[in-house]
Amino acid sequence: MTTWIDETLHDAFRFSLKADNVLVDDRSEHQHIVIFENDEFGRVLMLDGVVQLATRDEFIYHEMMAHVPLMALSEPKSVLVIGGGDGGVLREVLRHQSVETAILCEIDGSVIERAREFFPDVSAGAFDDPRSDVIIADGMAFTGETGQRFDAILVDSTDPLGPGAILFTPEFYANCRRCLSPGGVLVTQNGLPFVQGPELTKTIKAFHDLFADAWAYLATTPTYVGGPMSFGWGSDDATLRRTPLAELDRRFDNAKIKTRYYRPDVHQGAFALPGYVRDLVT
């Protein structure tokens, strides 16, 4: 008998992935965790009925969340990742040789444990890198209490439900703003603007109240069904978003990072928003 697993995020439509082999189906303290294998997309992680990653295309999301902000900064040294328990964003952050400290703050330690066991190639040793500090804590509390400052904060959250809901509030964004070094950048996961437009609008509205520069950029990951994924962008340095292509090319060449999706011209083009997305952020 064929097993199909539905993603249940959206009220008006659903899609299904064939589960050729279900590896995990249980509940942690915070959420429902399902891991299964699919012939087309590889090994898939779902939390509370929402696809978080598939091994075939995870590189797209993780590269774009990490390299767009870090290539915009000349030499980022300290990075905070909120969420991201699979380790993919942390992996990409640590590919930047200038990074001296990378903190991963994840509320659900079970996700990290499952990622270590079932997705070792996604983190690729990032959890054990000497520059990494993995903290099991609530992102809202951590950003409200820490005395550390970061050149970049990357919010690799789930969608605004369950434990991820608080990471979409103005109060959380204000905490992140407090933790940024001067000239730093905050990047957030903001869903699919074609079907989750209000989510992006609310985030960028909050960013306009906090930052000199507030915008969004896009990337398309096939397993996130419903159009391109949006990333919120906030910084007090408006020049970061407008880093010239020649400079991005220079930094990328010097970094000697091999990527499968990110490129300097893709970086620059990702900020060119279609009209319907531009309407959501202006």
Q: pLDDT (tens digit, 9 = 90+) per residue, 86-106? A: 999 999 999 999 999 999 999
Give the model's confidence band at 2: pLDDT under 50 very low, under 70 low, under 90 confident, else very high. confident
**Other Cβ atoms within 10 Å of 39 Cβ, number:** 8
pTM, entire model? 0.96
Question: Degrees (nearest 5) of the Cα angle 29, 103, 175?
Answer: 80
Q: Exactly one of 48, 57, 86, 156 is catalytic; which is it?
A: 156
pLDDT at 163 (0 to 100): 78
Active site residue 156: yes
Q: For position 227, what pLDDT does the model report?
A: 95
- H helix intervals, the chain: 58-72, 88-93, 109-118, 120-123, 139-145, 170-179, 197-210, 245-255, 264-270, 275-281
Where do runs of H (alpha helix) occur along 15-108?
Answer: 58-72, 88-93
Q: In whole angstroms, what is the distance from residue 108 CA to residue 33 CA? A: 11
Q: How confident is the model at residue 159 (pLDDT cuts 50, 70, 90)?
A: confident
Residue 223 CB neighbour total at 10 angstroms? 22
**What is the Cα Rg of the chain in Å?**
18
Per-residue model confidence as pLDDT tens digits over 29-64:
999 999 999 999 999 999 999 999 999 999 999 999
CB proximity list for 112: less than 8 A, separation 6 or greater: 85, 87, 106, 127, 134, 136
Across the chain, mean pLDDT equals 96
Angle subtended by helix axes 58-72 and 245-255, to nearest 10: 110
The residue behind tokens 């509370």 is 48
| Residue 63 to residue 18: CA distance in whole angstroms | 26
pLDDT at 1 over 80: no
pLDDT at 162: 77
- Map out the domains of the chain with their CATH numbers: 4-54 (2.30.140.10), 58-281 (3.40.50.150)
